[in-house]
Structure 1
Amino acid sequence: MTVTRRTLTLGLCATSLLAACGNGVGGRGASTIDARVDATLSQMYADYPGTRDLAAKSTGMLVMPLVTEAGFGIGGGFGRGALRVGGATVDYYSVAKASGGLQIGGKQYSHVLFFMTEDALQTFRRSPGYAAGANIEYAIPERGETLAAETTTSLAPVIAVIFGQAGLQIGATLEGVKYTRIIP
């Protein structure tokens, strides 16, 4: 595939747009990330009470308080968060997304990965960069609705709950997601 000047320009514009959005987790300090994780969990539990049961059944949770995505042909996304095991932060992670295809717009959202088995949690922690894939079951609750029963009784090793969406991004894309351990 050759990269045309137009594609390169669109990619640079998308990157600039993403940088201009700022995902609100600009403070790199651990205390800032932990405070945002606490606020995100409080919001999720208040808005979607069924997630309390999901959290109680999980062996760990990766909480991304705010992920910002933008794209115009080529797009990307970024956020920072913390891995909690037994209610305590054990590591900090960033998430980076890349996408390409017919797309335009930007959005922000929060998400939590619930590791439902010890093996899934250990695979995540041992990997140098965990790529989200087909082994994750997604639950995207609508405002005012509870999570469907199958998400709390699922046998999936990892369940992702996405909530707090803001913005608009439309299109059809291919994308990849990678979680990387960071030192805040």
Structure 2
Amino acid sequence: MKALTNNFYKPVFVIVLLLFASCGSMQNTEDDLRSDATDARNEIRQNHTNAAEMLDNSAGYAIFPNVGKGAYVIGGASGNGVVYQGNNIIGYADLKQVDIGLQAGGKAFIEVLFFETDADLERFKEGDYELSANASAVILDKGASRDIDFQDGVAVVTIPKGGAMAGVSVGGQRFSFQPR
């Protein structure tokens, strides 16, 4: 029984430790975050035609250029982002996710939320925005074109940066917004 208890608590302890470490002193400065978001936006414009059109045609968007996710049964993800209306920065946002399910590994990715209307963007700006567990994201790979559709006023796109993760998880993302 003792071996079973240790086998369960060790991975949970490691994940909690990693989550707390990722939220600490390695926070981006505002300039670093804006620079990373600009780089991510340039990558989208150069390599992902459908998403590039949405940068120009949506009411606004939030770019999270460095989202990290790790999991061993219990998982978590976090990232900081820049929120745009048109091509103007209107604020900053934080992404947090905790989920549970059959999953293991870690990965880094860019995540972009596109808002269909001004009302959808305003809902996000109210501060405590949440994507439900059944929200789906379009995963973009270089050279591949995928349809991007709005669901409840939001379209979510992710672009892998690195890492490997296997499994299925259930969980939603929560966002906070800070005006510029």
TM-score w.r.t. the length of structure 2 is 0.84
Residues in 1 aligned to 2:140 and 2:169: alpha-carbon distance in whole angstroms: 22
Give the 3-state SS of the residue equivalent to 2:171 in structure 1: strand
Report whether the alignment pairs 1:141 with 2:140: yes
Residues in 2 aligned to 1:8 and 1:77: alpha-carbon distance in whole angstroms: 20
Tell me which residue corresponds to 1:181.
Answer: 177
Report whether the alignment pairs 1:105 with 2:105: yes
Percent identity over paired residues: 22
Give the 3-state SS of the residue equivalent to 1:44 in structure 2: helix
Which stretches in structure 2 are left out of the alignment for 5+ residues? Answer: none
Which stretches in structure 1 are left out of the alignment for 5+ residues? Answer: none
**How large is the RMSD of aligned CA atoms in angstroms?**
2.7
Tell me which residue corresponds to 2:93.
Answer: 93
Tell me which residue corresponds to 2:12.
Answer: 11
Tell me which residue corresponds to 1:117.
Answer: 117
Q: Do the aligned partners of 2:141 and 2:160 also contact (CA within 8 Å) in 1?
A: no
Q: Do the aligned partners of 1:136 and 1:157 also contact (CA within 8 Å) in 2?
A: no
Q: After TM superposition, give the deviation of residue 72 of structure 1 in Å.
A: 1.0
Deviation per residue, 1:86-137 (Å, 9 max, x gap): 21111111101101122211011001111011111111111x3211127855
Report whether the alignment pairs 1:33 with 2:33: yes
Deviation per residue, 1:147-172 (Å, 9 max, x gap): 33xx26x5751111111342111122
TM-score w.r.t. the length of structure 1 is 0.82
Q: Do the aligned partners of 1:136 and 1:159 also contact (CA within 8 Å) in 2?
A: no
Give the 3-state SS of the residue equivalent to 2:52 in structure 1: helix
